Amino acid sequence: MNDTRDTNQEEIADAVKTINEKIQDFTSILQKFGLDLITKLGKTESRLNILSDKIDNLSKATIDVKSFSPQLSKIIDNQKIIESELDLIKSLMQQSSSSLSSSKPQGEPIKRDESITKSRMSIEEQLNLLKNEVESIDDIETIRKKLISMKETIFEITGGHRILYEISQAITILNNENTFSNDLKIQIKEKIGFWINKL
């Protein structure tokens, strides 16, 4: 009787042990599955965040491009206006040159306006003189006044020249500075050299 009881208890103990082992195995499988699932979900979330950021950036870029559209339209319109004005100028030049050639007697020599050449030489001399003076000038107000005077002189002689705008830009640069530094002197000297070449 005792033997039978002992045997039953051993079988029950073995069965419980087996069940516990299977539960532990199942638990470890579940844990591994859970960890894998969490890892995959984390990676998926990270990719979704990256993708979301890219979509946001693309959306911002699209908005930026759309905001340039009116400006591009203005540029295109201005370009068309300039082209039409250039065509008009070319047409007027052709008409004036053809009318001059038809009204001028054949064989008559063309008289050169020497006053223009003299005026150009006068401006060039004054600019060269100013270029040589730059090194010895330390006061920014002095060079600024000289450039203003030079600008007025060129305007009086020519009635308008493309370097006048560039001289105005140089004066603006000087207005924003407190001292006439060596770097600024070099910059002004280079600009004067460019102006001489453009005469």
pLDDT of the chain along its 199 residues, tens only? 555 666 777 778 777 788 878 888 778 787 877 777 788 777 787 787 787 777 877 777 677 666 666 676 667 766 766 776 676 676 667 666 655 555 555 555 545 445 556 667 788 898 999 999 998 999 999 999 999 998 888 888 877 788 888 999 999 999 998 898 999 999 999 999 998 888 7
CATH 3.40.50 holds for 114-198:
no
**If you ran DSSP here, which 8-state letter would residue 178 be given?**
S
Structural domain boundaries in the chain: 114-198
Query: 114 — alpha (psi -120 to 50), left (phi > 0) or beta?
Result: alpha
Q: Which residue from 182, 167, 175, 172 is spatially nearest to 136, judged by alpha carbons?
A: 182
